[in-house]
Amino acid sequence: MNELRVESVLSGFQFIWQSPETLKQFVDAANNLSPESKDTKPPSWISQPRGSITEVTFVNDLLKYLAELGGGFYEDTKLIMPNTSTQAYNICRRLGHIEMDPFMQACVAELPDDAHFASVMRLFEDPGINACPVYFVAPPPPFRQLFF
C-alpha cells in the first residue's frame, strides 16, 4: 500500500500599488472625510489619527495588519511570507474584510471610477509556479473593489 504523502507549499504576498497618485488620493480622502458620518471612523489598524495619515504610514499599517495572520513581514520589500495555506487563506479573508470596511469604501468613493488600489501577487517557493496574480472576486454592488 502506498503511503499518503502531503507536501507543504509556502507562499508569500506582494502588493503592487497601481499608482502613486491613486494612493495619494486615497490618503487625502482618508484625512479629509467628514467626521460627522458614522462611516468615516478609521479602522483600528490605522495607527495615525485623521489628518496625519501618509502614504507610507497607511501602507505599513495595512501590511502589518495583514502580516499578523502570516508567517512574517519583510518591511524593506513589503512581502508577507512565508505563509502556510491556512495563513494565506486568512490573509485573503482579512483583505475582504478591509475591502468591505465602511471607512475604506468611503475613501475609495472619492477616487475616479476606474481607479483601483493595488494588485496582489501570490509568490510560491515552487519554481514551477513562481508567482501569479490572486484575482479577487469583486464585492457585490454598491461596494467598490480595492484589491485586484
Q: pLDDT value at position 40?
A: 80
User: What pLDDT score does 107 carry?
Assistant: 94
For residue 80 the three cell numbers come to 508577507
Residue 140 counted as domain residue: no
Domain count, the chain: 1
- Quick one: pLDDT band at residue 14, thresholds 50, 70, 90? very high
Looking at the domain assignment, is residue 44 inside a domain?
Answer: yes
Mean pLDDT, the chain, integer: 90
User: Going edge to edge, which strands form the sheet with 11-17?
Assistant: 73-74, 79-83, 11-17, 118-124, 131-133
Mean pLDDT, rounded, for 15-37: 90
Which of 33-37, 94-98, 135-139 is predicted with the least confidence, judged by mean pLDDT? 33-37
User: What is the mean pLDDT of the segment spanning 24-49?
Assistant: 90
147 is a domain residue: no
Full domain range(s) for residue 51: 11-133
- Examine residue 4 and state whether it is found in any structural domain, yes or no: no
What pLDDT score was predicted for residue 3? 79
> Does the bond joining 35 to the residue before it have cis omega, within 30 degrees of 0?
no
Q: Is residue 145 part of a domain?
A: no
**7 band by pLDDT with thresholds 50, 70 and 90:** low
- Residue 112, in any domain of the structure: yes
- The pLDDT of residue 21 is 93
Task: Report the distance separating Cα 58 and Cα 42, nearest Å.
Answer: 11
pTM for the full predicted model? 0.88
Q: Residue 75: pLDDT band by 50, 70, 90 thresholds?
A: confident
> pLDDT: is 110 or 6 the higher one?
110
